């Protein structure tokens, strides 16, 4: 199969790779770039575990071909912070115990990052609706909603 060269900016670093046209973005990030924080759950775009941010908007990396991202800015969980210096969304999840097994957490962090940038999130119903595209099988969501509520209040959107 003929490979196609793409150049992407991931978490502030530029990468150029020749890849097969059918390679999914989730596989590109994990296999080609070694960024394994983007998890693959359902492989159908339903669970949200593979959520990344493409040119400022959240997207399911399991439904996106890597060649579609040529020239784009991509944000992954690795760009949000690290163990010694958590990003604000990560810290809110930690403070509110918004994770258990952690498998869904990177997708939630990326989705919440996008939501806080683009949506008012003025009450818990809006938060729950906004998070409905991400599935967690462990937490029951209460602590995740608590974390997002705190972040939205900091931003001034919750009354």
Domain with residue 19: its CATH number is 3.10.20.30
Please tell me whether residues 45 and 92 are part of one structural domain.
no
Q: What's the structural domain count of the chain?
A: 2
pLDDT digits (tens, 9 = 90+) for 4-32: 999 999 999 999 999 999 999 999 999 99
Contact in structure between 61 and 26 (CB atoms under 8 Å): yes
pLDDT of residue 37: 97
Q: Report helix, strand or coil for 144.
A: helix
Which tokens is 53 given?
């941010």
Final residue before a domain boundary, out of 78, 110, 130: 78
Q: H-helix or E-strand containing 110?
A: helix 105-118
Q: What CATH number did the domain enclosing 141 receive?
A: 1.10.150.120
Please tell me whether residues 14 and 52 are part of one structural domain.
yes
pLDDT of residue 50: 98
pLDDT of residue 140: 87
pLDDT of residue 156: 74
Final residue before a domain boundary, out of 78, 96, 131: 78
Final residue before a domain boundary, out of 49, 78, 107: 78
Q: Is residue 116 assigned to a domain?
A: yes
Please tell me whether residues 106 and 143 are part of one structural domain.
yes
Q: Is residue 99 assigned to a domain?
A: yes
Q: Is residue 95 assigned to a domain?
A: yes
Q: Is residue 83 assigned to a domain?
A: no
The stretches in the chain having pLDDT less than 70 are 157-159
pLDDT of residue 111: 97
pLDDT of residue 112: 97
Q: Is residue 138 assigned to a domain?
A: yes
The region that residue 43 occupies, defined by phi over 0 for left and psi between -120 and 50 for alpha, beta otherwise, is: left
- Domain holding 51, by residue range, is 4-78
């Amino acid at each position: 199969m003929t490979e196609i060269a793409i150049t992407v900016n991931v978490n502030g670093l530029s990468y150029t790779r020749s890849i097969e046209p059918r390679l999914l973005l989730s596989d590109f990030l994990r296999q080609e770039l070694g960024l394994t924080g983007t998890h693959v759950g359902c492989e159908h775009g339903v669970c949200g575990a593979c959520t990344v941010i493409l040119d400022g908007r959240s997207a399911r990396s399991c439904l996106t071909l890597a060649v579609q991202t040529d020239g784009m800015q991509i944000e992954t969980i690795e760009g949000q912070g690290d163990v010694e210096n958590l990003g604000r969304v990560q810290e809110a999840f930690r403070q509110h115990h918004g994770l258990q097994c952690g498998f869904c957490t990177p997708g939630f962090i990326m989705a919440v990052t996008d939501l806080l940038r683009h949506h008012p999130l003025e009450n818990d119903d809006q938060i729950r609706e906004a998070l409905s595209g991400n599935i967690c099988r462990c937490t029951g969501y209460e602590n995740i909603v608590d974390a997002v509520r705190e972040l939205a209040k900091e931003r001034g959107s919750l009354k």
